[in-house]
Structure 1
Amino acid sequence: MAEPKVSAGPMSVHADADAVAEAVASWLLAQSAGKSRFTVSLSGGSTPKRLYERLAGPAYRDRFPWGRTEWFFGDERFVPQDDRDSNFRMVNEAMLSRVPAPQASVHPFDTALASPQEAARAYEEELKRFYGAGALDPAKPLFDVTLLGLGPDGHTASLIPGQPVLDEHERWAAAVTEGRPEARLTLTYPVIASSRAIAFLVTGAEKAEMLAHVRSGAEDVPAGRLRSAGEAHWFVDRAAAGS
């Protein structure tokens, strides 16, 4: 049986971006309950940044299971980790450096390697070592939670419209060298789909048209092509919802 479209998952509408961050923080804490190891794939962008700052704040810092959580990255720019455009830098400054997360539990792309292709291959190898197998088993998701955003052009992670990565179903991570000013690194569709739960965080009026398009079931943009057996959730603000 074909996996369902992630776009069909339930959508909750919140007052603004801060309210979205609070809702996802509470949801993420609930998702971690009862798990001896909790594995999360992180998203870049301004909306997730609010979430990470919320998790590092007083309401969650002492309640979240930092010691048993593993952090991976859904995509990255091929820039040094201290570059202002680095997703790792953003997540580290907003959250990881402010909480008791063991260094060994954080798994960024190695952008110090010679090329985006080499960095993608190295990340695939790291994912496979962590997973304990060279092939994904539908009965054993790689991630407990995958966080995603939605671009006005319909991209998610760095699955960019018109790029060959959209047809990649064997590799776990890939380099995306065109379509953006800088090279990108991204998890591929099968790896993103290998998650018990997927959460899209979408805020801002500039996302409203694309959100409605993807939610309608359209498959002509990258986010609309994502399918997963995991639960899908959409956390959006009123501006993005068009209300």
Structure 2
Amino acid sequence: MLITGTEKSTVSDAAAYIANRIFRAIDSNGFCSLVLSGGSSPRKLYRRLAEGIPPSIMQEKGFSFPENAVTRTLDTTSVRLPWQSIMLFWGDERCVPENHPDSNYRMAHESLIATVPIPERNIFPMPHVSENYDVAATRYEQELKNFFDKHGKNRQNSFPVFDIVILGMGPDGHTASLFPGDTDALEESNRWVIPIYAPQGSPPGYRLSLTLPVINNARTVVFFVMGENKKNMVSDITAGLKSNLPAGMINPKDGKPVWFYSPE
């Protein structure tokens, strides 16, 4: 499914959809495991999730929400998310310090985490390292295994089952830190987290990334993509014409990914 619009409407539509999925996961499991995307595109989406979604948008989309999630002030009424029941993970990370401008954690912290009442124990960032990348990947994989072992019903086929994975996409069709031509990374079938060297990345350098089997095992995968320079790639991938590219390899076991795209 591809949903397009202005930047404002795309942010609102994606936030409402994700909020609905969060409420459904919590109703089913008691918590929601949410994987965040990096880059610059999700900033406004994360701010909308932090601020809350207007009930009118949720209702317009036919999404239900708990009455106790509605917060009213003098100026606004919004549906707020139950952050105490949301567990945050990351789909990929650049191997830089957490306060570095290119850190995906820093972006999420500034636009989301710092402004919502989420317990620190609910936040699972990827390690911020400058060397020994394989050890860092193994460490995060073990952290994920510990979490999902604790919640046994959320593991399937030797891989975790995240409730929601948010992904972006580059103009070259890469997603998370899985890049075109990186055969070893794209064919990885056992590991959950791998180190990546991305000479074509922005910026070039080492990264950590979830693997395709982990992403495709998620209950819901949401692509949130912005920019005119990605228009043709979005069109081709959603039409099934670029299944050899990383973003085209995202095929969740429980259905198709949902795409939210704005050229603005």
**TM bracket (short chain):** 0.7 to 0.9
Query: In the aligned structure 2, how far is the partner of 1:224 from the partner of 1:137?
Result: 23
What SS does the aligned partner of 1:143 have?
coil
Of residues 45, 49, 60, the one that matches 1:51 is 45
Task: Report how far residue 178 of structure 1 moved.
Answer: 3.5
Check 1:224–1:207 CA distance in 2 against 1; reply closer, same or farther (3 A cut): same
Report what 1:195 is aligned to. 218
What SS does the aligned partner of 2:209 have?
strand
Report what 1:12 is aligned to. 3
What SS does the aligned partner of 2:173 have?
coil
Query: In the aligned structure 1, how far is the partner of 2:216 from the partner of 2:45?
Result: 22
What is the total number of aligned residue pairs between the two structures? 228
Task: Report how far residue 37 of structure 1 moved.
Answer: 0.6
Unaligned runs of 5+ in 1: 1-9
Query: In the aligned structure 2, how far is the partner of 1:66 from the partner of 1:161?
Result: 35
Amino acid at match of 1:198: V
Amino acid at match of 2:112: M
Contact 1:159 1:186 in 2 (8 A): yes
Report what 2:168 is aligned to. 149
Report what 1:233 is aligned to. 258
Report what 1:182 is aligned to. 205
Task: Report how far residue 23 of structure 1 moved.
Answer: 1.1
What SS does the aligned partner of 2:205 have?
coil
Query: In the aligned structure 1, how far is the partner of 2:51 from the partner of 2:103?
Result: 22
Alignment of 1:51-200 (within 5 A): 51-57=45-51, 59=53, 63-112=80-129, 114-132=131-149, 136-137=155-156, 142-163=161-182, 164-179=184-199, 180=201, 181-200=204-223
What SS does the aligned partner of 1:220 have?
coil
Query: In the aligned structure 1, how far is the partner of 2:234 from the partner of 2:40?
Result: 17
Unaligned runs of 5+ in 2: 55-68, 72-79
**Which has the larger Rg?**
2
Identity of aligned residues (%): 35
Amino acid at match of 1:153: D
Of residues 226, 235, 238, the one that matches 1:215 is 238
Amino acid at match of 1:40: L
Amino acid at match of 1:57: E
- Length-normalised TM-score, structure 1: 0.87
Moved over 6 A (4+): none
Query: In the aligned structure 1, how far is the partner of 2:44 from the partner of 2:172?
Result: 22
Check 1:64–1:159 CA distance in 2 against 1; reply closer, same or farther (3 A cut): same
Task: Report how far residue 58 of structure 1 moved.
Answer: 5.3
Query: In the aligned structure 2, how far is the partner of 1:49 from the partner of 1:81?
Result: 17
Contact 1:113 1:119 in 2 (8 A): no
- Length-normalised TM-score, structure 2: 0.80
Check 1:154–1:209 CA distance in 2 against 1; reply closer, same or farther (3 A cut): same
What SS does the aligned partner of 1:46 have?
coil
Contact 2:84 2:119 in 1 (8 A): yes
Higher relative contact order (CA 8 A, sep 6+): 1
